[in-house]
Structure 1
């Protein structure tokens, strides 16, 4: 060691070079003290010059390759010391090391370069940013697809990528490197699918880290453009299946579910039941295995997370110290939302499979899957019941729970009727953490409500509980906020209108008085909507709006509405809606009305006949119409 230090402190470069060669033999194992002595003796300046000479930046020499290998080996040794790796001097070598990786292909040199970058990057807060700014992701993406499966180089490169992804804002990385990240996902899919070593989990961590970000449109687009080649998607499916069918921790299961959801977003729900044939795999994964494993794991995680969240919110919250120090609350809510989202996609998939012909999944498997989903939905109802008993109506986890129930009941509207009846008024009032109303909860349940309100019993439940007022308020607010209706919002309007029509049509059968005060805003809202419409607009909207208006008029009178503040402007617009629908029904063929629209036309016609005597303003307008002389009363 003394001879080595004398050489390193020598004045000539030849002495220092010889000293470094000797140092590589002396610094074995974890002898950090000797490494520190050698670093202090040689200093950074000579090492930096040696590195630059090896790259061809310090003059022409035939021994350049030897200089480069020695410089990288010694650099990797010195970076074992955190205080050295975190220094400004070492950070300045990052661009040089990346340049080596761009220009050299020697496997041992590549591994040592990766190790240097990993040690420097993890030694200080500035390390990950220096790696990113110097183009590390671009370099790694070009390497990772050609590195040998299971090699040390693959392992270190994955850890290096994870370091950058975990320490820097993912939106910034995706914005600048979406193509490179997409290339990495496709390349890492193969070892994730085929390997049966710890490296499989490194690949899982990396893939889930890349694909877990919600605002990742550029990356998704890059991956979708590669979806025509399904091989990489099959590798990931096989990898997910292997992880979920083995004994792994909850964290790994969550990561596998995150990955599954991302793949569905890219390939569609059918990816879950595709036959995953791999050119180099020992066996083919059955078409239903991935679906059943993802579903069962989601169910287990949902059950666990609901229990833990209920405890944190209602039991641990009694002890403010426990609650405030619970760092995992947000993470649990995020994981619950992800598991819910997966189950929603599975519900949608199973519903479509029941209606498909020639599918590779047996009906028994689908029934088993739906049975499992039903059991989980029952737990979600329990979670909401708990929230109701504790007076909690606000929370993103509660809103997500309402959404999954809405998705389930949209496909099986009359399932769990008793539970729905008990909690309907509460569920319709649930708000998200940042929301000022229960608009989203109502929106999630509308597909179910528009189907179940065809039954008198359900309408009676709504009226007795007062939940119908929430639906009416939703419809009024929705119309006011969306006066110019986009195509993607028409469906929500139809669901809400059908629900209100079903309730109003059955008022007489239920024999429960509806306060007209609650209905007046509907007339005002539809009057405002019709201002921007015309008879050449969507016939379905006109028929639904006029049906609701005539049903509201059917339980009151013109004088009563005037006392409640309905002015001439509203009368004119409501009258115009009713006239349009009556004329469309009378003219028939030119409008090519659907059967459902003709049914609504009957509601308007019969409603007008019943209430015309109480609404002289509307009666006069109808009788002035040339096309409606048959309705003169």
Structure 2
């Protein structure tokens, strides 16, 4: 009986608070009602929370979030307190999927993004990020999150904050927003979401490319993680529209990405980051062509003479490193390819000979993912060289560099051919061969190489 009485009393108090926050009441009454409501609600009392949600004055919450629009007659309510009141109320609703996914909550996303403050001493910024993660799940929420201004606010916080939890939540929000949007668009066309995604890409890529090029801390690798997840997932038609919409801007952030990738490939890396860097490189080559990456292979004769006149013991400049980056990349990708193919060949040979083979599912999954990625980079190099060099015309590429690249490619193709011959000889059916992703990728790159450079194969 006491419990029932307590519930009834709490229900009556909630009704009084809802009256206090009604549009007809003065601001001071609304402040009091908003301040009391979160204290009266419990997460296990879904009916009461739903009743408050249905009676909520969301326009006043918007005013609290955008505090410059709120005038307190007494002047005694600090702006951070106003924001905290609004965040606490919205946090009550964000725990419930049906409320978090509503239009009323989605419409609060732009205002919520304006309250994000780096290194926030209170829990306001972290709570706001949690709310945004809960709300940006439907089409409406994703369209709001993909607004360039909203995305810019989240990106600026994630990059600037020194608070590890804020940074982690910020990058998680960016990652989940693009992952969900791309997943929805792969399932069916949604014009409003397609448009939002296209117009969000310049903001995303500009911010991430600057971090990748200029930061030398863990932020660089958080950025790499987002890029390696988002780039393969964006529908190709949206990337094409994005590419055509502003070529000058695209070329600027492509240069930043090139610089950042060069720095990463030039250092000793954990295999995870090396794989992510290769995925990003392969995607950019697919979407934007090989020129942005390999163009420094073409040096003018005057540039060559300047380089030759430099003292032998002089330190290499960043420009020299940039010029040599394509050679470094091709070498690294070729070595990684040969290591993986040798391991695959050895494992398949043991299986063919009915020897005991230790199963390493994680390694096999990585090989099935990364061999095609490496092949995409090598294919781009082959195509670029075939377009810019032929036996019957003088090339503006350095002869030594050309020889190194062609030798690396030829050695790699010989190993690909060896594995492909073994696979074809030991495969019992065409269906089995068609289902072998390594074999399919190998046939593709061998066909391309035979068409362009095949006369060098053994």
Q: Shorter-chain-normalised TM-score: which range?
A: 0.5 to 0.7
Q: Return the offset for 1:371.
A: 1.5
User: Paired residue for 1:368?
Assistant: 404
1:377 and 2:413 matched: yes
CA distance in 1, matches of 2:132, 2:158: 24
Quote the residue 2:25 is aligned against.
Answer: none
What are the Cα deviations for residues 278-334 of structure 1, in whole angstroms up to 9, with x where unaligned?
xxxx944634333123213322332343245446766579799997x9477566434
Where in structure 1 are there 5+ consecutive unaligned residues?
A: 1-5, 25-34, 277-281, 418-633
Q: 1:227–1:266: 8 Å Cα contact kept in structure 2?
A: no
What is the match of residue 145 of structure 2?
136
Contact 2:112 2:128 in 1 (8 A): no
Say which of 152, 155, 160 aligns to 1:151: 160
Structure 1 residue 178: Cα displacement: 1.9
1:51/1:72 contact within 8 Å kept: no
Partner-residue secondary structure (3-state), 2:338 = helix
Compare CA radii of gyration and give the structure with the larger one.
Answer: 1
CA drift at 1:380: 0.8
**Contact 1:159–1:202 (8 Å) recurs in 2:** no
Secondary structure of the residue aligned to 2:248 is: coil
Cα distance in 1 for residues equivalent to 2:83 and 2:246: 38
2:62 is aligned, of 55, 58, 61, to 55
Partner of 2:4: none
**1:40: Cα distance to partner?**
7.0
Which structure's relative contact order is higher, taking Cα pairs within 8 Å and 6+ residues apart?
A: 2
| Closer, same or farther: CA 23–305 of 1 in aligned 2, 3 Å | farther
Q: Could you tell me how far apart the structure 2 residues matched to 1:149 and 1:234 are?
A: 22
Distance change >3 Å, CA 51–CA 215, structure 1 → 2: closer
Q: How far has the Cα of 1:214 moved from its partner?
A: 7.6
Task: Give runs of aligned pairs for residues 70-149 of structure 1, distance below 5 A.
Answer: 70-74=84-88, 85-92=95-102, 94-101=105-112, 104=114, 107=117, 115-116=126-127, 118-120=129-131, 128-129=137-138, 132-133=141-142, 135-139=144-148, 143=152, 147=156
**Structure 1 residues 296, 413: CA separation in 2 closer, same or farther (over 3 Å shift)?**
closer
- The separation in 2 between residues aligned to 1:364 and 1:255, in whole angstroms, is 30
CA contact (8 A) 1:150 1:199 kept: yes
Where does residue 245 of structure 1 map in the other structure? 266
Contact 1:144/1:184, CA 8 A, preserved across alignment: no
Matched with 2:194 is 175
Q: Which residue in 2 is equivalent to 1:386?
A: 422
Show the counterpart of 2:178: 165
Query: Residue 270 of structure 1 contacts residue 349 of structure 1 at CA under 8 Å; is this kept in 2?
Result: yes
Question: Does the 8 Å CA contact 1:141/1:181 hold for their aligned counterparts?
Answer: no
Aligned to 2:236: 216
* Structure 2 match to 1:566: none
- Give 3-state SS (helix, strand or coil) of 2:275's partner: helix
Matches within 5 A, 1:50-449: 52-56=59-63, 62-63=71-72, 68-74=82-88, 85-92=95-102, 94-101=105-112, 104=114, 107=117, 115-116=126-127, 118-120=129-131, 128-129=137-138, 132-133=141-142, 135-139=144-148, 143=152, 147=156, 150-152=159-161, 156-167=169-180, 168-169=183-184, 171=186, 175-176=194-195, 177-213=197-233, 215-229=235-249, 230-274=251-295, 283-284=318-319, 286-307=321-342, 309-310=344-345, 326=361, 332-355=367-390, 359=396, 361-391=397-427, 394=433, 395-417=436-458
Conservation of the 8 A alpha-carbon contact between 1:51 and 1:67? no
SS of corresponding position for 1:147:
helix
Structure 2 stretches of 5 or more lacking a match? 1-8, 21-27, 298-316
Contact 1:208–1:256 under 8 Å retained in 2:
yes
Query: Per-residue CA shift, 1:110-144, capped at 9, x if unaligned?
Result: 99787446535666xx9633674552112566525
Report deviation, 1:20.
8.7
1:375-414 deviation line (CA, Å, top 9, x unaligned): 2112212311331342356133213212212222333333
> What is the TM-score of this pair, normalised by structure 2?
0.66
Aligned equivalents of 1:205, 1:190: Cα separation in 2 = 15
Distance in 1 between residues matched to 2:128 and 2:288, nearest whole Å: 35
Report the equivalent of 1:560.
none
1:415–1:221 distance in 2 versus 1, CA, 3 Å: same
Within-5 A mapping of 1:520-535: none
Q: Secondary structure at the match of 1:297?
A: helix
SS of structure 2 residue aligned to 1:414: helix
Contact 2:110 2:150 in 1 (8 A): no
1:582 alignment partner in structure 2: none
Q: Contact between 1:240 and 1:256, CA under 8 Å: does it hold in 2?
A: yes
